[in-house]
Each structure stands twice: as structure tokens, then as C-alpha cells.
Amino acid sequence: MRGMFLKIVLWFWASLALVALALHVTIIATSVPPEVRVQRFSDTALSGYGRRAVAILEREGVPALAAYLDGLERSTRIHAVLIRQDGRDASGHAVTPRVAAAAARAGDAGHADVEVNGGVALKAHRIDGADGQRWALVASTPIGLVRLLHDAPFAQLLRLVAVLLTAGVVCYPLARYVARPLATLRAATQEVAAGNLAVRVAPGLGRRRDELADLAQDFDRMAERIEALMTAERRLLRDISHELRSPLSRLHVALGLARQQAGEDQAPLDRIEREAERLNALIGQLLMLARLESGATEPACEPVDLATIVREVVEDADFEVKSRRRGVRITRACESVAIGAPDLLRSAVENVIRNAVRHTREDTAVEVAMRPRDPEHVVIAVRDHGGGVPESVLPHIFHPFYRVGDGRDRYTGGVGLGLTIVHRTIQLHGGTVRAANAPGGGLVVEMTLPAHTRTPSAPPKCYRRDPLT
């Protein structure tokens, strides 16, 4: 989500920066520099101001001239001085060398070019009096910060930095506003993928009324629908399994009565009994899966010696398959203790080992290894030497009722429940299960469980997971 957030920030930032840059270039290309504005103002106005000042001086005297020039400064911010041919102002006072020089240049050429110094533009214009005397009106006006920025070497960089900072300040909260619901939605999808169907998104978005809020509501409706369907499926599975137990029990009773009347012809009844046992085992698996899915089965919070469980299951399985030219052996062992239910953990280990025995080739042995993954976890790995599983279906073999295909019931307990129950059992104890094809052929199933160190300062930790999809 950080990538999306960063992209949104950069997109908005770059867009605003480009717009600001284009606007800046347009302003520079079309605007009139301050010198030109002062020049135009001087050429059109100073001549009129000067003639007016000379006329007032000749007609009304110096006090009236001073009043006129003061009014001009108040109304136009132009400070003007009327200079005589001798370089002094109309009242007889000396002037600064800069003003005197500008007046002298205007007396020779008729006007002086604009001179800018210290943020002040100065311009002089020659005025011919009625009596033939020449005057020079020297006017100055401040051009302020705009002119300083126009002339400063760092002006362009300063403008660019200002644009980028402004765009960043504006774009960051906007991008955050857009990206935050996406981050919330992503976290919710991860929760659903982990099995928590009770998660909802819309309450965390507050009072938003936009497309993202609509998406959050759609997600919540989808999650509610999935949760309802999964709950109904588990309830149906549990109810059907319970309902099948009663007719199956009556079938066993009827089978016993039939044996008493069948005499020596027991073969058909033996077949019926085997099928009934298979059906009974299937119902047991369904009930176990229903309990694990619903969270009704809690792992006992007691130490379990994993090494002992593995050793006992391996010995039993090896004894049973010797007549079928197969074997089961421990290639590596380590002492490790888990916290949970001994019966559930034994069933999970036994399920994986017996399925491996079923699919390993003749004259090969199923290999069982225990090793520490890190100080806090232990791995039980079971490898057979069969044909393996296609890579494309490996992620699905832990799903209920999933079959690999091609007439094989690889690691599915015949109906696709074996590894599902193993998966749920290991997760119930805070562990993980994974399957992979082994180099040289065969399948490896690894069960990783938290290892417990029995010390007074480390009390047993019990694990429980939420029901999974």
C-alpha cells in the first residue's frame, strides 16, 4: 500500500508542479518587466507632471510647487524634484549626486533612461519653460520586493521550491485520504484469507460517502454472505454426520443378526461390514472436521512429547507394512515438547505417515525426520517415494474434499479430508503445514509446531485459531 500511496502523492505533486511551472513560464513570457513599466509610465506622465510643476512655480511660487509635488507623491507614490539648470532644486537646495547626474543627462538628451538602484527606479525628464529656461523633473518610485525577486540570482529556484513545497503540503493529505481506505480494505482481505470472516471494513471508514465507501460496503456484504454460507455448510456437515450415525448403528445390528442366519456364506456380509466401517470412518472424519472448523474442539493445555508420539506411530506403521514390502523409518530425531492435545497431535502425525505409506513405492521406506527450525519451533517432515503431486495442485491439497485426480486419492484420506484435518489440527496448535515435491520423486509434508521449554518462568501457552474457510 505504501507503493500506491507514494504513487498518488507523486502524481498529484507532479501535476501541480507542472501546472505551476507552465503558469510561471506564461507569466514570464507575457509580463512586462518592472523597468519597462516604469519606462512607459515615465514617458507618458513625467512630461505632463513636469510642465504642470513649472507652470505652478512660475505662476504661484515655490510653496505652491511644494504642495503640488507632495500631492503627486501621495497619489502616485512618485517622489519628484524640479531641478534648475545650475543643478539645484527649485527652492535653491542642493540635491544628491545621483539626482544631479540624472538631471544633467536629461538636460543634454531631453530625458534620461530609467536607473534602478536599491529597489528604487529613478527617471529624469527635461522641461522647457515659457521664458526659455530649462528645467529637469527627476522622479523616483519604489519597485519593492517584486523587483528584488526579479533581479535576484536565486529567484527561479526560490519560486520552484515554493511551488514544490506548496504542492507537497496539499497533495500529502489528499493522497492519504485516498489511500487509507485501500490500506484498510487490504488488511481486511488478509484477515478473510486467514479465516476471520467476521472482519468488516465500513465501520472503520467513518462517514465517507464516495466510491471507496461503496466498495467497503460491498466487501462487507460479501464477507457476511461468505460467513453465512460457511456457517450453514459446517452446520449441514455436522447435522448430516450425526444423522448418519443412527442408521449406521442399526445397520451394524442388522448385520450381526444376518451373520447368525447366513451360516458359512459370510463373504457378502464381510463386504457389507467393510463398507460400513469405511462409512463409519468417514462420518468420524466429518465430525472431527466440523468440530475443528467451528472451534468447538479446544487443544488441551498440557505438554506433549512429540518425539515419543513420532516414535510410537513409526513403529506401529512399520510393523503393519512389512508384509507389503514397504517400511517406515526415522532418519533424524530430536527431543521436543509441544503444548496441546496428545490425541489430536498423534492423529495428525499418524494420518500423514499412513498416507505416505499408502503411496510410497514397493521396496522403499517412508522417511520421518524431526528437526528444530529455530529455538521456538520444531519441524516433523514425512517423505514418501511415490509419484509426487503436480505442482499446480499443491496449494489445494489441504482443502476439504479435494482430490488430485487421475483416479488417485493422494493425501486426501480417500474422500479428501485427511490432510484437511491435519491442517486444521496443526493450526489449532499454533503451527503450519506445507507440502512440496521432493528432489528425486515423492512428496514431503512438513508440520511445524511451536516448541515449549518447560521452565518455571515460562508457563505453557495454549493456541487457538479462528475457523478457516
Residue 341: closest CA among 296, 278, 398: 296
Tell how many helices (H) and how many strands (E) occur in the chain: 12, 11
C-alpha cell at 124: 529624469
Q: Is 242 a catalytic residue?
A: yes
CB 449 within 8 A of CB 338: yes
HEC readout, 82-111: EECCCCCECCCCCCCHHHHHHHHHHHHHCE
With residue 151 as reference, give the H or E element that holds it: helix 144-151
Cα angle at 324 between 322 and 325, to 5 degrees? 70
Q: How far apart are CA 141 and CA 338, in angstroms?
A: 90
DSSP string, 248-294: HHHHHHHHHHHHHHHTT--HHHHHHHHHHHHHHHHHHHHHHHHHHHH
Characterize 246-270 residue by residue with b for buried, 16 or more Cβ atoms within 10 angstroms of its Cβ, and e for exposed.
Answer: eeeeebeeeeeeeeeeeeeeeeeee
Residue in 79, 93, 150, 242 annotated catalytic: 242
Q: How far apart are CA 260 and CA 450, in angstroms?
A: 53
Question: What is the number of alpha carbons within 13 Å of residue 359 lying toward its C-beta?
Answer: 25
Residues annotated as part of the active site: 242
